[in-house]
Amino acid sequence: MLLLISPINREEALESIEGGADIVDVKNPKEGSLGANFPWVIKEIRELTPEDKLVSATLGDVPYKPGTVSLAAMGAHVSGANYIKVGLYGTKNHDEAVEVMSNVSKTIKDISPNTTIVAAGYADAHRVGAVEPMEIPKIARDANCDLAMLDTAVKDGHTLFDYLDLEKLEEFVKETHSYGLKTALAGSVKKEQLKPLNDIGCDVVGIRGAACVGGDRNTGKIHHDAVAELKELCDSFE
């Protein structure tokens, strides 16, 4: 299982890399769970990250505006992102979400077929009126994405597991794999929760809070020791 760590700036990106993160996921928590950072921050982090490591960028908790989101995807691409995550926040159902994601895929795949496109839903979608989490695998398939992901929309201490039990998460992973796609799971995931996620076949685990000093994604800063501990755990399952 690969370890995706979400830094907000250059300093945290360096800590993530030193700790051994597999994917450096540029984010801006001030703008929400999957808040977008600025193009120059993504570019700077792409430039300081070793070439063989993927740099991801989140486009935000996006509205149901396929054109706006497609243009944001292009912004992430020209800034150097190899992995583009879209938080399906304003889309209320499968069809709206597919409309957004298929336009993002078309925008990027036409010019950069190897860029990874991630359809990200929310385990607590019911709290914000977003598309149901168990719809995400079909949305990813129908919109020509590479990964189906879940995170949490509201970062108030609840974790992914507060909304979906392991059985449901396994169903999510199996369905996604049956379409030939990969999965990423996140949502205030703690180190003790890595093994169960690995054991159900999750391909990528996304973490910010547990990689920060004090475990707080907003007030803490990513530290390489915390990242290294998470990375060591992920590697120990192989």
Ligand X SMILES: O=C[C@H](O)COP(=O)(O)O
Positions that interact with ligand X (CB under 6 A): 4, 6, 25, 27, 151, 155, 186-189, 206-210, 217
CB of 154 to ligand X, least distance (A): 10
Q: Which is nearer to ligand X, 26 or 69 (CB)?
A: 26
CB of 72 to ligand X, least distance (A): 17
Active site residue 27: yes
Q: What is the spatial distance between Cα 6 and Cα 29, in angstroms, rounded to a whole number?
A: 9
Q: Which is nearer to ligand X, 27 or 224 (CB)?
A: 27
Q: Which single residue brings its beta carbon nearest to ligand X?
A: 206
Beta strand 54-62 pairing with 147-151: unpaired
Sign of CA dihedral 210, 213, 219, 222: negative
Active site residue 85: yes
Q: Which is nearer to ligand X, 106 or 233 (CB)?
A: 233
CB of 34 to ligand X, least distance (A): 7
CA 98 remoteness from chain centre: 18
Count Cβ neighbours within 10 Å for each residue of 110-142 and write b for 16 or more, e otherwise: eeeeebbbbbbbbbbbeeeebbebbbbbbbbbb
- Of residues 30, 85, 174, 182, which has the active-site annotation? 85
Q: What is the spatial distance between Cα 156 and Cα 158, in angstroms, rounded to a whole number?
A: 6
DSSP 205: E
CB of 217 to ligand X, least distance (A): 4
Sign of CA dihedral 224, 114, 160, 30: positive
Q: Which is nearer to ligand X, 129 or 157 (CB)?
A: 157
Catalytic residues: 27, 85
